Structure 1
Amino acid sequence: MENKQNKTFLTCKDHTVSGEEFKLVWNEKNEILITQPQPSPEKLPNYYESEDYISHTDSTKKLSDKLYQGVKNFMLQKKLKLIESLADSSTKSLLDVGAGTGDFLKTAKKKNWKVRGVEPNAQARNLAQQKHITLVQEISLIDSSEKFDIITLWHVLEHLPDLEFQIKKFYSLLNKDGYLIIAVPNFKSYDANYYKEFWAAYDVPRHLWHFSKEGIQSLMKKHQFQLQETLPLIFDSYYVSLLSEKYKTGKSNFIKAFKIGLKSNLKAKSTKEYSSHIYVFKKQ
C-alpha cells in the first residue's frame, strides 16, 4: 500500500476571494485531505467576504445563483422527509449547524420541530431573523443541558476548525440513540477527478477538510458514531461542475458542465462515488 503520509495530493487556488494557493495534504490516519496552511480562526472569516458566497445570501442575480436557490428549495423537502423518517419522539428536536439563512429550520419548524441553529456569519443570521429563525454565532453558546434528537450539517463539517472537538460536542448534545446527519463533497467522485485542482468543491481555504466515504466513516467511528445510511446528492455534480468550468476556463460552459455532471452521476451508479453524499450516523 502506498505511504501517503504528509504527501501533497493537489495544490489548489482560492478562486472566490484571495487568489492564494493552498495544498491538500493526506491525513496519515485515514482517507481525509487537509488544507494547508489553514487560516487562523481570526483570519478565516475574511475568506468568506464575497458576494459569490451564495449560502450566506438569498441572491438570485446570476444563473448559478438561480440554480443554487432552485435546488435548495427542492432539497428542503427532501431533508425534511429524511429527518421525519428518523424521528421517534413527539418533541422532535433539531439542531442545524451552519444554518445559513435559516430556510431548513423554517421548514422543519412548520412541521412542529423544536429548532435551534448555529451560524457564524452575521449577514446570514440577520436574514434568518427576518424569517423568525434566531441563530447563535457558535456552538459553544448552545447549553450543554440541551439535547437534540437530530443534529444536521449540510455541507458544513468541511468548514469547521478543530474538527475533533466539534464532533465531541455533537455527541454530547445528542439524545441517546440520536442521529448526526452530515452532507459533504466526495473527492473520489468522477467530477473531482476530472477537474482536479479546479474542482469547485475543494473551495480552499474555506474547506479545511476533504472527505472520502472511507475517511468520514473512519473518523466518525472513532467518536462512537455508527454509519446507518449513505445517500447520494445527485444535483451537486451539476452545480459543482458549472463552477469548476468557470474556474478552469473563465467561462460558465453550461452544456459542458451539464455533460460532466451527468457523466459523474452515471459512473456513480456503479462506483457509488457521487459528487457529494449524505451520511446518517447514529450515536452509540
Structure 2
Amino acid sequence: MLEYIEECPVCKNTTTTHFITCKDHTVSHEAFNIVACTACGFKFTNPRPNATEIGKYYQSEAYISHSNTSKGIVAKIYHQVRKITLLDKVKLINSLYHTKGKLLDVGCGTGMFLNTAKEDGWQVNGIEPSDDARKLAEEITHTSIASEVLTAFTNQKFNIITMWHVLEHVHLLNETIDWLFNKIENDGKVIIAVPNYQSYDASVYQESWAAYDVPRHLYHFSKDTIKQLFAAHGFELVKHLPMKFDSFYVSMLSSKYQTGKTNYIGAFLNGLKSNGVGEKNDNNYSSIIYIFEKKKS
C-alpha cells in the first residue's frame, strides 16, 4: 500500500513539483516518483510504501548490507572496499571524541562497523529493524541489538551516534532526529552519511542513478536541505566529509541499471571524475558524511 506525503518533511510546505521517475532495479521493478518541494527544494519519494509494506522491498540477496552476500563482482568489490572504510569510520569516531566512549549505530545492518569499533575499545550498541540482519549482527558482535529506533534505549545517552546510509530509509524522519537529539550527550557527535543527488555521477546517470534506490530511499538530500533539517531540531553542522569510494560503487550499479550490463571502465572513469568535480565544488561528492552537534546556547 502506498502513502502520500502531504507536506515537505523539511519546511512543511504543501506544494511540490515532479522531479524524476526512477525504477526499483533491485526487487520489484516498479516505477516511483521523486518530487521536489517548491519552497526549499527538498526531494522525496512520493507516493511511497508505508512502514508495514516497505519490508518486502528489501527482500533480495542483492541488498548487500542486509545479507553479507559476496556473489558477483560488484559484491566482491563492495566487501574489499568495506574492509578499508570500516577502519576509516573508526578513525573518524576516534578523532571526534576524547575517549573510547559509548557508540550507537542506528541501522547497523549485519554489525560489521559495530564489531570493528568494539575491537577498538568502544562500548557498542546497535539498532536494526531487519530480523535477518539483526541476527547476524548479534552473532558477530555478541551484543543484543534493538529492533526499533523510537522505543530503544529509553534511559541511555551516547557519545557518538552513527547512521551510515540509514536516514534516507526512515519513515518517521523528524521524530527520528528529535530522538537523536535526546540520545546524544551534550558534547557528543551525530554522524550522518547519505547520498548526494547534486553529485556529478547523479547528473550522468539521472533516473538510473543507483543511489536514488527507490522506494527504499524515501528522501534525497543535498547539503543545504540536510543542514536546514537538522537545524530545525537543535543541531548545527560541524563539518562534512566525502565518501570517495561511493562514487565508484554507485557508478558500477548505475551503469548496469542504465544499459543492462556493468561498464566497469566507464563506471570507474565516471567515479573518478565525480570525485574530482566534488573536490572542486565544495565537497559535492556522490555520498557525504555530515557531523552534527547540539547548538551551543
- What TM-score comes out, normalization by structure 2 length? 0.91
1:200-234 per-position Cα deviation (integer Å, ceiling 9, x unaligned): 00000000000001110111111111101110011
SS of residue paired to 1:235: helix
Equivalent position SS for 1:117: strand
Check whether the contact 2:27–2:59 (CA below 8 A) recurs between aligned residues.
Answer: yes
1:274 aligns with 2:285: yes
Given that residues 62 and 69 in structure 2 are in contact (C-alpha distance below 8 angstroms), is that contact kept between their aligned partners in structure 1?
Answer: no
One of 124, 145, 154 as aligned partner of 2:133: 124
Q: Does 1:101 align with 2:110?
A: yes
Which residue type is aligned with residue 289 of structure 2? I
Please give the residue correspondences for 1:148-227 in structure 2 after superposition, counting only pairs within 5 Å: 148-227=158-237
TM-score under structure 1 length normalisation = 0.96
Mapping 1:20-31, distance limit 5 Å: 20-31=30-41
Question: Structure 1 residues 194, 47: closer, same or farther in 2, change over 3 A?
Answer: same
Instruction: Provide the rounded CA distance (Å) in 2 between the counterparts of 1:18 and 1:176.
Output: 43
Moved over 4 A (4+): none
Could you give the per-residue CA deviations for residues 157-209 of structure 1, whole angstroms, max 9, x where no partner exists?
00000100000001111111221100000000000011000000000000000
Query: Is 2:127 aligned against 1:111?
Result: no
Aligned residue for 1:179, secondary structure, equals strand
Aligned residues: 281
Deviates more, 1:34-43 or 1:197-206: 34-43
Whether contact under 8 Å (1:144, 1:172) holds in the other structure is no
Q: 1:171 and 1:27 mapped to 2: Cα distance?
A: 25
1:61-108 CA-partner distances (Å, limit 9, x unpaired)? 111101111111111111001111111346x00110010100111111
1:137 aligns with 2:137: no
Question: What are structure 2's unaligned runs of at least 5 residues?
Answer: 1-12
SS of structure 2 residue aligned to 1:120:
coil
Structure 1 counterpart of 2:52, from 39, 42, 45 = 42
The question of whether the paired residues in 1 share the 8 Å contact of 2:165 and 2:195 is answered with yes
Q: Cα 1:31–1:93, aligned 2, differ >3 Å: closer, same or farther?
A: farther
> Shift of the alpha carbon at 1:243?
0.3
Q: For the residues of structure 1 that align with 2:228 and 2:216, how far apart are their CA atoms?
A: 23
Distance 1:45 1:199 in 2: 22
Gaps of 5+ in 1: none
Distance apart, 1:5 and its partner CA: 4.5
Q: Partner of 1:139: helix, strand, or coil?
A: coil
- TM-superposed CA distance for 1:262, in Å, is 0.8
Contact in 2 for aligned 1:149/1:178 (Cα 8 Å): yes
> Which residue of the other structure, out of 28, 47, 57, is the alignment partner of 1:18?
28
Report what 1:71 is aligned to: 81
Separation in 2, partners of 1:83, 1:29: 35
Between stretches 109-118 and 126-135, larger displacement belongs to 126-135
| Alignment root-mean-square deviation, CA | 1.5
State the alpha-carbon separation in 2 of the partners of residues 233 and 254 from structure 1: 19
Percent same amino acid at aligned positions? Answer: 48
